[in-house]
A = this chain, B = another copy of it.
Amino acid sequence: MKLSLRGDYALRALIVLAENYDRGIVRIQTISEQQGIPKRFLEQILNDVKSGGFVESRRGIAGGYQLARPPEQITLAALIRYVEGALVALPLDTEGGRKGARPDANQLAIRSVMKEVRESILQVLEHITLADLCERARKLRHDDTSLDYVI
C-alpha cells in the first residue's frame, strides 16, 4: 500500500481542517502555506474530497473548507480508500491467455491472499479517525518542541 503524494496532501489537509473543526471554515491558502502544499494542486484535491462527502465548502470572499462531519466520525479507511482508490489492488487482467475473462487458479490464489491483506489493513484503518490523527499530531508537536530546546 503506497500513499501517493496526492493522498499524503489530502490527509494532511484534513488534519488541519480537523484541528479547526470548531473554529469553522479554513481557507485553502492557509492550509497551503501551513503544510507547504502547492495551492492549485490542493484546490483539486479538496474539491475531489468534497465530492466524496468528507468536506463542505463555501465560496466567495469568506469562503473555504470545513469538515462535513465531526473528525471522530471520519475513519482513515473511508478516506484513504476514496482518495487512493482500492487499498490493495491487483492488476486488471488485460489478458488471460485465452478468450478473455477467466483467471486461472494461480491468479485466484494470489487474489485470496490479497483479500486477507486488505482485511488486515481495514482492521487498522477503520479504527483510526481523523480525531485520533489530530491527537497524535498534537502529542508529536509537544515532543518535538521539547526536543528543540535540547538541541
Residue numbers of A with Cβ under 8 A of B are 1-5, 8, 11-12, 15-16, 33, 35-36, 76, 86-91, 95-98, 104-110, 112-114, 116-117, 120-121, 123-125, 128, 133-134, 136-138, 140-141, 144
- CB distance A138 to B105 under 8 Å? yes
Copies of this chain, whole number = 2
In the complex, how many angstroms separate the beta carbon of A135 from the nearest chain B beta carbon?
A: 8
27 contacts between A and B (CB under 8 A): A1-B2, A1-B89, A1-B121, A3-B89, A3-B110, A11-B106, A12-B107, A12-B110, A15-B106, A35-B104, A36-B97, A36-B98, A105-B138, A105-B144, A106-B137, A108-B144, A112-B136, A112-B140, A113-B124, A113-B125, A113-B128, A113-B133, A113-B136, A116-B124, A120-B121, A120-B123, A120-B124
